[in-house]
Structure 1
Amino acid sequence: MNRIRVCIVTHLFLPHVGGVEKVVYEQSVRLPPERFKPIIITSDVAGKSEYTLDRLKVYCYPTIKAGFKLGIPYSIPKPKSYGIFLKHVKNCDIVHVHGHPYPSSCVAVKVAEKFSKPIVLTQHNTFIDYGPFWNIIEKLNDLIIGKMVIQAADKILVVSNATLNYVLSLGAKKQKTEVLYNGVDLERFKPAKRSKLKIRRTIGIPEDSFVLLTVRRLVYKNGVDTLLESAKIAVEKNSHLLFLVIGSGPDHEKISAKIREYRLEKNFRLLGFVPDANLPHYYNAADLFVLPSKSGEGMPLVLLEAMACGLPVVATNVGGVPEIINRDCGKIVPPNDAANLAEALLEFSRSDTSTYSKKAREFVERKFNWNKNVRRLIEIYEELI
């Protein structure tokens, strides 16, 4: 029996760090190798033309490097990239693109239509606030590339009901659109058997601190600036609060300067990049997870990972976040509201969070499972061929 050849197109992929990259990896690597032959087409941000990652063959299209330097929030393929898409899309059985507004999705869809290949689109987020100028570009992009990709897709998968409403507003047909929740690796992300204090000693965190963790790229939309403003308010009332921020990004220097200005060096630490394999240690060392996003969240993987480790969460009311958090496992606050966020963080610092922790883990176990996700994905692939 011939294996089903799946051409998966994502503008970014591992080792580049991000939620979409993780989703593409987790789904692709779980496709049964005796039935499926997935390949990945992505940008060359890793500096390679092709590579293999855990039996996944990855082909990279060359990009216009000036795009990222100018602040364009996605990769732009060079004209010669077309040959890469042509070669691999032509020889596959199904094309699965991730994200509707990306130039790479547009090229892949056009080639797929040329060779009558079925197309699956996964949309991971709602509208992302990149700031006033790029918001105008993004809205135009939605109307041009985005709508074209959405209309061409034979099946549209969205990661939350908020994302569903977003693609419907762009002209997606409801009958070909389906919510397929992301999963989380419940074996890797789980409450640690070692005590929290022992883990803290291992990674150098003061034992008497109330630790608030976030895992975010340091970019405007992720709201680390709002988190810092809330820290300024909260630390005045509780000096034992310790904010840990895992992640890097273009706003690093700006945030570092604000930390110094607010004299929060002891209470607000930018840890930079932490390998994915080490994240469970930090989740298990923390008391509370914070997601201060301003916009664009579909189904944040870091939120699921934190809850799988038994962390209660405080997060902003954006995108699909309210579909994850209820009063049993955390609290929702308005975006861009440092005072409200600070009050919620202080409330948890004064509370016994053990019940929240148990409920958070139970909720994730019940609803967010990669094996369940991939079983449905396989059914969709087979229905379309």
Structure 2
Amino acid sequence: MSQLRVLHLITAAETGGAETFLCRLLSRLPRECFKSRVVCMVRPGHVGGRIRALGIPLATLGMRRGLPSVGAVRKLMEMLQDFQPDVVQTWLHHADLLGLVAARLAVESNLVWNLRNSRLDAAPWTTRAVVWLCARLSRLPEAVLTNSETARDQHRALGFRPRRFEVLPNGIDCGEFRPDPAAREALRKEFGISPETPLAGMLARHAPMKNHAGFLRAAALVLKELPEARFLLCGTGVTQVNRELMAQVNQAGLRGRVILAGYRQDAPRVLNALDALCVPSAYGEGFPNAAAEAMSCGVPCAATDTGDAARVVGDTGRVVPPNDEPALSRALVELLTLPPDQRTALAGRCRERIATEFSLDAAARAYASFYEELTGRR
């Protein structure tokens, strides 16, 4: 049987959750069964290079953010006509809309939307308009996928009524994200943190929904209980040149207690250095990748009840209401002060939960099965 041809259209290929998961998914879809291509609406970033390193062709439409382009539609139509995909898989709202227009004009293929974020509180009006339009057109794709039950339910509340609505959770590479005592020692040495120092961290790009300000306020409360604690923040825009973030650090009285490490390509090493990961999102989460990655490394999480965080964390960490810094600080203190035997046992439960329920292999099998069933190949 010939390979099933899948063209993935995504807004960008930077460091977001959707882009990262697409790259990981492509690394596990069997090449003998699937022939994949990726098209970015704008210029690709970090993840684009990783996709190309897999041997997957990646092209760009050269669009500018926030600006529609008739030329981009024509260019995408030419790519579709050249590749003749069995499935056009689009990722995120803008790509969903563009893919719908181009695919319907250019080829006969199965169009599948993929929705990730669950709320649009701080989204610009242009994005809200795209989402509104997608909701009205949501019966046109053959199917709509999402990575979380929360995103599915909240898109239904926004008016999405697809013919087929499926939840396919993200998956974590448990071989890449694994307990690594040597990495823990090396990274702590890099940042000048002793092995005994309680260390909590946050791995997220700087954006309102990620709620760095809330994390810093919670960290200040943690220091009242654990003066020796330190805090490590990594992600795009999380550096000392970020004036807004530095003002929040100073306002919380955390100068000298917080390390702002910026974007890191060694997330497994960073996570292994932590005693607890914090996911303080105020809104907008779908599937919290950072929490699942930390758990796969044996690091417990304190997370706010946004998206499917409670579903991922289960009974291996702490889940608190959004924007409740006292509750978040108490959760962090509980995790940072666990006795060694309890910490070891909890680390094992964290990793087992991800390996059992949210592994990358399981996610790839789910996508492969979905594409094959959709196209009648199974």
Give the TM-score normalised by the residue count of structure 1.
0.87
Trace 1:95-174 onto structure 2 (pairs within 5 A). 95-99=88-92, 101-102=93-94, 104-114=95-105, 115-130=107-122, 134=124, 138-148=127-137, 150-173=138-161
User: Does structure 1 residue 297 correspond to structure 2 residue 285?
Assistant: yes
Distance 2:162 2:89 in 1: 19
Of the three residues 168, 172, 183, the one matched with 1:180 is 168
Distance 1:255 1:26 in 2: 31
Q: Give 5+ residue unaligned stretches, structure 2.
A: none
Give the AA of the match of 1:318.
T
Distance 1:264 1:22 in 2: 31
Distance 1:183 1:205 in 2: 31
Of the three residues 11, 18, 21, the one matched with 1:20 is 18
Match of 1:30 in 2: 28
Distance 1:168 1:5 in 2: 30
Secondary structure, counterpart of 2:57 in structure 1: strand
Shift of 1:7: 0.9
Secondary structure, counterpart of 1:248 in structure 2: coil
Of the three residues 347, 350, 353, the one matched with 1:357 is 347
Distance 1:227 1:47 in 2: 27
Shift of 1:92: 1.8
Match of 1:82 in 2: 73
Match of 2:366 in 1: 376
Distance 1:5 1:195 in 2: 39
Secondary structure, counterpart of 1:272 in structure 2: coil
Shift of 1:175: 6.2
Query: Cα deviations across residues 140-173 of structure 1 (Å, max 9, x unaligned)?
Result: 432213442x322212222121122123334445
Give the AA of the match of 1:311.
V
Count how many residue pairs are aligned between Structure 1 and Structure 2.
Answer: 364
Q: Conserved in 1, the CA contact under 8 Å of 2:174 and 2:296? A: yes
Match of 1:321 in 2: 309
Match of 1:7 in 2: 7
Query: Cα deviations across residues 287-336 of structure 1 (Å, max 9, x unaligned)?
Result: 00100001111112111110000011000011111111223x11111111
Structure-2 change in CA distance of 1:47 and 1:162 (3 Å):
closer
Give the AA of the match of 1:93.
D
Match of 2:327 in 1: 340
Of the three residues 78, 90, 93, the one matched with 2:86 is 93
Shift of 1:195: 8.1
Match of 2:246 in 1: 256
Distance 2:70 2:11 in 1: 15
Match of 1:308 in 2: 296
Give the TM-score normalised by the residue count of structure 2.
0.89
User: Does structure 1 residue 43 correspond to structure 2 residue 41?
Assistant: yes
Structure-2 change in CA distance of 1:358 and 1:224 (3 Å):
same
Q: Conserved in 2, the CA contact under 8 Å of 1:184 and 1:305? A: yes
Give the AA of the match of 1:348.
L
Q: Conserved in 2, the CA contact under 8 Å of 1:8 and 1:41? A: yes
Q: Conserved in 1, the CA contact under 8 Å of 2:141 and 2:162? A: no
Shift of 1:129: 2.6
Distance 2:284 2:130 in 1: 15
Secondary structure, counterpart of 2:355 in structure 1: helix
Structure-2 change in CA distance of 1:281 and 1:161 (3 Å):
same
Shift of 1:267: 1.2
Shift of 1:244: 0.5
User: Does structure 1 residue 228 correspond to structure 2 residue 216?
Assistant: yes
Shift of 1:177: 1.6
Distance 2:164 2:347 in 1: 37
Shift of 1:63: 1.9
Secondary structure, counterpart of 2:346 in structure 1: helix
Give the AA of the match of 1:212.
A
Shift of 1:46: 3.6
Q: Conserved in 2, the CA contact under 8 Å of 1:4 and 1:35? A: yes
Match of 1:70 in 2: none
Q: Give 5+ residue unaligned stretches, structure 1.
A: 68-75
Distance 2:155 2:247 in 1: 38
Distance 2:183 2:23 in 1: 31
Match of 1:72 in 2: none
Secondary structure, counterpart of 1:184 in structure 2: coil
Structure-2 change in CA distance of 1:349 and 1:380 (3 Å):
closer
Query: Cα deviations across residues 88-145 of structure 1 (Å, max 9, x unaligned)?
Result: 223222100112x21x3212112222333211122222113327xx3x5554432213
Structure-2 change in CA distance of 1:94 and 1:174 (3 Å):
closer
Shift of 1:47: 7.6
User: Does structure 1 residue 61 correspond to structure 2 residue 57?
Assistant: no
Shift of 1:61: 1.0
Distance 2:264 2:346 in 1: 26
Identity of aligned residues (%): 23
